[in-house]
Structure 1
């Protein structure tokens, strides 16, 4: 009886393999979605472009021909008039004096609370975080009456007394911005700090580092991306605020640039072309901050939901 040993199947040579089929070009994807988003973007830009167009025309031209007409001439005279007539340099400086301390104070206080909530385990940990976050759920119009009465009777400390009370004071605007923005920043920073390994702070604690040193020298440097995103967002929000200075500041010289645009409006006559030029000049710092820190701004829109 003879046995035959089966030969293994021979592998096809590389020359015998079939070449891959050519890829067919993909058709344009989501064309309708892109057209819709582009149309919405153009609609959002129409008021801005119309403000630019109006600010470049003289009031006499628009009064005689109408705003929906071809201009007889374009010039930058309205920008110069708005800069001088409204006293914009002074009010720009007021906005800086409000925005910079408010942003720094908000980040410092919210980082301290976020560090305490995220790095230490205690009974009311989650309740404390929810308390800070719930403060942002109240609209400003709800607390304006009790806050107004409080500001009328709350004296300033001697080292910040540019007026007698928190009312009609730059410090009063700074304090309300810090108090109102700490909830959002605490929520974002606590979620970000939870992603930092605990072994880092535990190793520092073993080496004898106190809590304040762990906070300032270890945790805060690791939170620079979150600080950059929050600083961008808070700078834009606080600078653009119109409500609090309008209600809590009575003296016109102490108002920021957003509230000072009312100086361009007269009792019996208002030049819309001049107001449009002033509004565009007011928006320039916001645009500069956005374009300089665009990456941090975009990451700040999702940093609170992606971390944690």
Structure 2
């Protein structure tokens, strides 16, 4: 600490630095009460449907019909979950969702990180144009491309050893490719902004030491992007796993559909068991919830990156 002194002839007297009385902007008590009240009400309103779904899934249908949905009478058990698992065929549907989600998320992050590295760490003629094109792709509604993509997949020939339809239709590859195409733009935009915030001296020092482009990307930049990659991985797993549109459009065989379509098996022809459907809906949410809990720290760190920078 620097000590200021004032001359007094033969001796010097240290002058302690004055303490600043400014401690930053203060939030009034009324503002804090309003914020906490608003957040509490929002959280309660958000939790009501989830709690009600859990409550409904634990009640037998006969008790619901006897006492009503707004009642508390009757028994509670996990029979609806067992019945939904067996009747809905969730074991097979979960496997199909894993086959689609895991490659789609991994390849999306790989492609997006490579493009983001190229447009953020190097200056070349069309780097900004390329980034704009990737970002603009997110503004295009996916549904308007359904008919052209269906025709493209239909006429894209594949060997019968790879596809029993002879095309991209009714294959996992078609759904994976569609998810990658529509998700890579958002991931590129996020990762490029994050990579731009990294000091340029890192890659400059690596170049001086003889590191090539691939080594700069793989050994230096990519490890520093782990928080951002973890946050994006969590979001991408949720989006791709919950996708219903592309799977329903491109896959025509029931045993290849993802878990989001498994709930359809719980609907009866003339009536429906809402308790059973609630249990099936909660079963589909378990993998996403587990992934979020596992990556919660990295997810929060990725979302708050740069929030404390002036």
The verdict on a shared fold, with TM-score over 0.5 as the criterion, is yes
CA distance in 1, matches of 2:232, 2:189: 11
Give the equivalent residue in structure 2 for 1:231: 233
Q: CA deviation at 1:184?
A: 0.7
Listed as ranges, the gaps of 5+ residues in structure 2 are 1-12, 14-27
Looking at structure 1, the residues matched to 241 and 205 of structure 2 have their Cα atoms a distance apart, in angstroms, of: 41
Per-residue CA distance 1:145-197 (angstroms, 9 max, x = gap)? 21121121123467854652222111111111111110011011111111222
User: Corresponding residue for 1:14?
Assistant: none
2:129 is matched with 127
Is residue 55–residue 276 contact of structure 1 (8 Å, CA) maintained in 2?
A: yes
Aligned counterpart, 2:42: 40
Secondary structure of 1:266's aligned partner:
coil
Q: Structure 2 CA distance, aligned partners of 1:33 and 1:306? A: 21
SS in 2 for 1:30: helix
Q: Is the 8 A contact 1:160 1:171 kept in 2?
A: no
Q: What are the residue-to-residue correspondences of 1:107-186 with 2, within 5 Å?
A: 107-156=109-158, 160-161=162-163, 163-186=165-188
Measured after TM superposition, the shift of residue 283 of structure 1 is 0.6
Seen in structure 2, the aligned counterparts of structure 1 residues 266 and 304 have a Cα distance that, compared at 3 Å, is farther
Alpha-carbon distance between aligned partners in 2 of 1:306 and 1:35, rounded to the nearest angstrom: 25
Does 1:195 pair with 2:197? yes
Asked if structure 2 preserves the Cα contact closer than 8 Å seen for 1:252 and 1:260, the reply is no
Q: Which residue of 2 aligns with 1:79?
A: 81
Describe the SS at the equivalent of 2:243: coil
- Asked if the contact 1:156/1:164 (under 8 Å) is kept, the reply is yes
Structure 1: which 5+ runs fail to align?
1-10, 12-25
Deviation at 1:198? 2.4
TM-fit CA distance, 1:107: 0.6
Residue of structure 2 aligned with 1:295, choices 258, 274, 297: 297
Q: 1:129–1:306: structure 2 CA closer, same or farther, 3 Å change rule?
A: farther
CA distance, structure 1, for counterparts of residue 161 and residue 232 of structure 2: 29
8 Å contact kept, 2:112–2:184: yes
Specify whether residues 305 and 242 from structure 1 end up closer, same or farther in structure 2 by C-alpha distance, changes over 3 A only: farther
Alpha-carbon separation, structure 1, partners of 2:169 and 2:58: 38
Secondary structure of 2:223's aligned partner: helix
CA distance, structure 2, for counterparts of residue 199 and residue 159 of structure 1? 50
Moved more, 75-84 or 261-270: 261-270
Which whole-Å CA distance do the structure 2 matches of 1:253 and 1:301 have between them? 37
Size of the aligned set, in residue pairs, is 283
Q: Which runs of 4+ in 1 moved over 3 A?
A: 26-29, 156-163, 299-307
1:240 to 239, 242, 250: 242
Structure 1 contact 57–71 (Cα < 8 Å) conserved: no
Aligned-residue CA RMSD in angstroms? 2.3
Q: Which moved more, 1:175-184 or 1:218-227?
A: 218-227
Match of 1:249 in 2: 251
